[in-house]
A and B are shown apart, each in its own frame.
Chain A
Amino acid sequence: MFGLVPVSTAGSIAQMPALLALAASPLARLRPLDIAVIAIYFAMVVWIGFYLKGKSNTSEEFFMAGREMTAWIAGLSFVSANMGSLELMGWAGSAYQYGILATHWYWVGAIPAMLFLGLVMMPFYYVSKTHSVPGYLKLRFGEHARILAAISFATEMILMSGVNMFAMAVVMKVVLGWDITFSILVSSVAVALYVGLGGLRSAIFNEVLQFVLIWGGALLVPILGLVQAGGWGGLKSKIITNLHSDTYFHLWRDTGTFAANPMGVHWTGIVFGLGFVISFGYWTTDFLVVQRVLAAHNLRAARMAPIIGSFFKMAVPFIVILPGLLGLVLLQNPDGSRRVLVGEDVVNSCQANGAQGSIENPAACSAAMAKTRLSPTDQRAVLSAAPGTDLHSYNEALPLMLVRYCGPGLLGLGITALIAGFMSGMAGNVSAFSTVWTYDIYRPLIKKNASDSHYVMVGRLSIMIGVAVSIGAAYLVMHAHGIMDYVQALFSFFIAPLLGAILMGMFWKRATAPAGFIGLLIGIVTSVSLFVWVKFNPAALATVALSPDAKPMAENLYRALWAFLISIIVIYVVSLFTKPKPETELEGLVYGATLLPKEEPVPFYKNEYMWAVLVVLIFAALNILFW
Chain B
Amino acid sequence: MHGSGIPIWFFIGVLLTVYGVLIFGYGIVEAVTGNYPPLVQMTNLHTPIWWGGLLWLAGLFYVVKFRPKSSK
Contact = CB atoms under 8 A, between A and B. Distances in A.
A and B bind: yes
Interface of A: 33, 36-37, 40-41, 44, 47-48, 51, 55, 66, 68-70, 73, 201, 205, 208-209, 212-213, 216, 220, 224, 227-228, 297, 403-410, 413
B46 to A, nearest CB: 10
Given A40-B15, A41-B15, A409 B41 contact: no
Contacts of B36: 407
A227 B8 contact: no
Given A407-B37, A413-B19, A209 B48 contact: no
A273 to B, nearest CB: 37
A227 B42 contact: yes
B48 A410 contact: yes
A409 B48 contact: yes
Most buried by B among A36, A68, A212, A213: A212
A212 B3 contact: no
> Chain A at the B interface: mostly helix, strand, loop or mixed?
helix
A208 B10 CA distance: 12
A407 B30 contact: yes
A167 B37 CA distance: 29
Contacts of A213: 15
B26 A297 contact: no
A512 B14 CA distance: 53
A403 B22 contact: no
A73 B10 CA distance: 13
Contacts of A216: 16, 19, 55
The 4 closest A-B pairs by CB, nearest first: A409-B23, A407-B37, A68-B2, A297-B2
A298 to B, nearest CB: 9
Contact of A406 (B15, B18, B19, B40): B40
B1 A409 contact: no
A208 B51 CA distance: 20
Nearest to A406: B40
B64 interface: no
Contact of B37 (A41, A47, A212, A408): A408
A175 to B, nearest CB: 15
A199 B45 CA distance: 43
B19 A220 contact: no
A529 B7 CA distance: 48
Given A41-B15, A70-B2, A409 B26 contact: yes
Given A37-B22, A220-B51, A405 B40 contact: yes
